[in-house]
Amino acid sequence: MRHGRLSPAVLRKYGFIASFLAVPLILYGYFVVAQYIQAFQISLTNSRGISPNFKYVGLENFTGLFDNDVFWAAVRHHGLILLAMPLATIAIALFFSFLLNLGGGQKNGRMAGVPGSGFYKVVFFFPQVLAVAIVGVLFQAILRPDGSGVINSALHAVGVDPVGWLVEPNLALWTIIGVMVWQAVGFYVVLFSAGMSSIPKDVFEAAALDGAGRFTLFFRITLPLLWDTLQVGWVYLGIAAFDGFALVQVLSVDRGGPDNATTVLPLEIWRTAFTYSKYGVASAWGVALFFMTLTFAVLTLRVTRRERIEF
């Protein structure tokens, strides 16, 4: 089998593997890789996306980026989202999943969640089921700046003036981050719950005998043993932080406003390409976004990498 000739057995083996790989690889190659390569190509041209005639302009589109205030605003927003959104989501999801799975302490010999945790699990997962556009529309009603918004009318009842959640330039981005967190938490509760249930129960029992209270149990046992799952969650959320297109598009004033206070790169790419019809420039933005996401993913995997925990 190892003498390099293609014996029938070898052919059969690799033919079997190839038959599984062929379709996804072709689809991926054509619809993902080829498009990226084309985007790299277009980013070097002055294409307007309408006529097939365009000129190569070198790195002009990229140098233009550095002088563009909107680009830098969007990058700054991504930075803020990247800092706040994963952190808040993971913290809240961890807290909930700990309560749901272990917070109730010992019950009939096994660790249990707080009473009613089966019900809460379903409730927490609801936002994940809704399409992002629907979430956007829902929150438009909730966040209306006048007294008839759900939150503002509640605030009014306790005597607080209406808050312009989405119209205050200093507040709008944070409001949108809040909605992102609201939508993401459910999924990560489920993810972390699965992670927690894969930790052997007798480890928790041993810790309880060793004198660990709920606090110690969480920080000294659960969290370190959940590290791998946490890392996965962090990468997912970080990559999601470079998106935010749909929510900003539906929810924000003026699509990225007020005054570009909430705009994100995908939204600007979309606008540059389809509103201003500057395909070359839009592709350059896209290439920039590609490298940002890639850098983030590689950095995260590098930083969080450590010895795998074996049970």
Partner 1 sequence: MASIVLSNVDKIYAGGVKAVNGLNLEIKDGEFMVLVGPSGCGKSTALRMIAGLEDISGGEISIGDRVVNHLPPKDRDIAMVFQNYALYPHMTVEENLAFGLKLRKMPKSEIQKRVQEAARMLGLEQYLKRKPAALSGGQRQRVAMGRAIVREPQAFLMDEPLSNLDAKLRVSMRASLNQLHERLGVTTVYVTHDQVEAMTLGDRVCVLRDGLLQQVDTPQNLFDSPVNLFVAGFMGSPSMNFAYAELTRDAGGAAVVFAGYKLPVPDSTFAEKPGLDRYIGKKIILGIRPSDFEDSVAANGNAAGWVRIPVRANVTEELGSEINVLFTIDAPPVEHKDTVAAQNDGDEEETTLPLTGDKSLWTARVNARSHVRPGQNIELVVDTHNLHFFDVDSGLSIGHEANIGR
> How near is the Cβ of 113 to partner 1 at its closest, in Å?
17
Alpha carbon distance 282, 292 (integer Å): 15
Q: Which residue type does 19 have? A: S
> How near is the Cβ of 267 to partner 1 at its closest, in Å?
42
Question: Which lies closer to partner 1 via its Cβ, residue 156 or residue 214?
Answer: 214
- Going by C-alpha positions, the residue among 258, 265, 215 that lies closest to residue 243 is 265
How far is C-alpha 265 from the geometric centre of its chain's CA atoms? 14
E strands, 214-282, where? none
> How near is the Cβ of 106 to partner 1 at its closest, in Å?
6
Question: Which lies closer to partner 1 via its Cβ, residue 31 or residue 311?
Answer: 311
Q: Which residue type does 248 have? A: V
> How near is the Cβ of 228 to partner 1 at its closest, in Å?
11
Question: Which lies closer to partner 1 via its Cβ, residue 214 or residue 255?
Answer: 214
Question: Which lies closer to partner 1 via its Cβ, residue 5 or residue 308?
Answer: 308
The Cβ-side half-sphere exposure at 187, using a 13 Å CA radius, reads: 17
Structure token pair of residue 158: 């306790």
Question: Which lies closer to partner 1 via its Cβ, residue 67 or residue 307?
Answer: 307
The structure tokens 């990247």 sit at 82
Question: Which lies closer to partner 1 via its Cβ, residue 71 or residue 218?
Answer: 218
Alpha carbon distance 18, 137 (integer Å): 45
Cβ neighbours of residue 257 under 8 Å, at least 6 residues apart?
172, 263
> How near is the Cβ of 200 to partner 1 at its closest, in Å?
7
Question: Which lies closer to partner 1 via its Cβ, residue 58 or residue 224?
Answer: 224
Question: Which lies closer to partner 1 via its Cβ, residue 90 or residue 221?
Answer: 221
> How near is the Cβ of 87 to partner 1 at its closest, in Å?
22
Structure token pair of residue 193: 């719950």
Alpha carbon distance 252, 249 (integer Å): 6
> How near is the Cβ of 188 to partner 1 at its closest, in Å?
21
> How near is the Cβ of 108 to partner 1 at its closest, in Å?
7
Query: Is residue 72 within 8 Å of residue 260, measured between CB atoms?
Result: no
Distances (CA, A) of 205 to 109, 193, 214: 9, 18, 12
Backbone angles phi, psi at 112, to 5 degrees: -130, 165
The footprint of partner 1 (CB under 8 A) covers 106, 108-109, 200, 202-203, 205-213, 216, 220-221, 224-225, 227, 307, 309-311
